[in-house]
Amino acid sequence: MFPDDPKSTAFPLFESTILNQTVTSITWSPSNDLCVLVYQDNSISLCRATTVSIWTFSDLKSKVTAIAWHPNGQEFVVGCLDGTIYQVSAIKFIPNFILCWPPCDCVSNPADGISSLLWIDYSPDLPTVIVPGFDPTAFDMQSHLPALSMVPPEEPVYVE
């Protein structure tokens, strides 16, 4: 459909909404119809797919630079330019920003702030999946690199 006719769309428009503010970032939940909108004034809204706002939060002191959803879609994290990371529940009707990484001194170098986040769902208690042909020790550096000696090196000999 799309490659033959450039005027057609591969995905039909579900809904269209005109927002009152400029949006700088949209991050969709991986498992439901929620999205997080970050506006130009640094406020954050949790919305349904139809952009119906569930809540809006505007008390962050630092510019929002990254958002990542938990794979279950029930919470997300917000990264800021000052290095701060907040954890936020998406299942509550009132925003609750929990500090999970304190701010750093990024004022002197803004590149030190949070630029991206990725939430990896990892549980060490779950059994390891065995993939045929994959070596599970491939990333175990201790098994591939020689051990470092704890014996101090000999003093250098100075020759005149």
Q: Is residue 3 part of a domain?
A: no
Examine residue 94 and state whether it is found in any structural domain, yes or no. yes
Mean pLDDT in residue range 6-28: 73
- Rounded (to 5) percent helix, strand, coil in the chain: 5, 30, 70
117 domain-assigned: no
Q: Does residue 87 lie within any of the structural domains?
A: yes
Domain that holds residue 87: 23-112
Residue 146 lies in a domain: no
Residue given tokens 């809006």 in the structure block: 56
Which token pair is 127? 């059994």
Distance, C-alpha 40 to centroid of its chain: 19
pLDDT of residue 128: 65
* Residue 95 falls inside a structural domain: yes
Q: What is the CATH number of the domain that holds 34?
A: 2.40.10
Please compute, for residue 90, the number of CA atoms within 13 A of its CA located in the half-sphere on the CB side. Answer: 29
Structure tokens belonging to residue 136: 């599970």
Q: What is the pTM of this model?
A: 0.65
Report how many domains make up the chain. Answer: 1
Task: Using the predicted structure, report yes or no on whether residue 1 has a pLDDT greater than 60.
Answer: no
Q: 3-class DSSP state for residue 71?
A: coil
In a domain, 86, yes or no: yes
**What pLDDT sits at residue 63?**
92
The pLDDT tens digits for 109-155 are 666 788 899 888 766 666 666 777 777 677 676 666 667 777 877 88
DSSP string, 85-154: EEEEESSSSS--EEEEE-----SS-GGGS----------TTSPPPPPTT--TTTT-HHHHSPPPP-SPPP
Residue 43 pLDDT grade (very low, low, confident, very high; cuts 50, 70, 90): very high
Residue 9 lies in a domain: no
Average pLDDT over the chain, rounded to an integer? 81
